[in-house]
Amino acid sequence: MAYKTIFKDIQSVKNALGQEIGISDWLEITQERINTFADATGDHQWIHIDPERAKKESPYGTTIAHGYLTLSLIANFSDKCYSNEFSKMIINYGANKIRFPSPVKVNSKIRARYTLESLDEIEGGIQVQWVVTIDIEGQDKPACVAQSLTRWYF
């Protein structure tokens, strides 16, 4: 069910406004990935890295991914949901509203869905706002919903 949109010109972007333009494949969130993220960020809270304690004390019964780990995967998922054949450079510009409605338990699988929310002209290019929804396999409630901003320079 994964699919990707290829933007060939500015008009193809405008034509996609308000539409879901891509869904990534599922990605398993392993304990190794969680631990690596903890090491990279210095966030070693037990709920993320201590499976035995999490099994006993966590309301989830297991370790969970950091919310910011889930958020950081937006960059990975973007390449799987869309590509741009007409810009010289694309940069992450930031994010607006970010929510983490449901935790990602270790060994869960997540995927991203991208919806093109808005587009504004900027000097030398456009700014695109996406609604990125990170789904958890087998759950109704998403792990993350974020408004992500990218700038595409010509």
Tell me the per-residue pLDDT of 46-94, one tens digit each, with 9 for 90 and over. Answer: 999 999 999 999 999 999 999 999 999 999 999 999 999 999 999 999 9
∠ CA 96-29-31 to the nearest 5 degrees?
A: 120
The pTM for the full model equals 0.94
Q: Which residue ranges form the domains of the chain, and what is each CATH number?
A: 5-30+73-153 (3.10.129.10)
Look at strands 109-122 and 27-28 and give their pairing. antiparallel
Residue 68 has a CB neighbour count (10 Å cut-off) of 14
Which residues, in sequence order, are CB contacts of 39 under 8 Å at separation 6+?
none
The answer to whether 104 and 29 have CB atoms below 8 angstroms apart is yes
Sign of CA dihedral 94, 83, 141, 56: negative
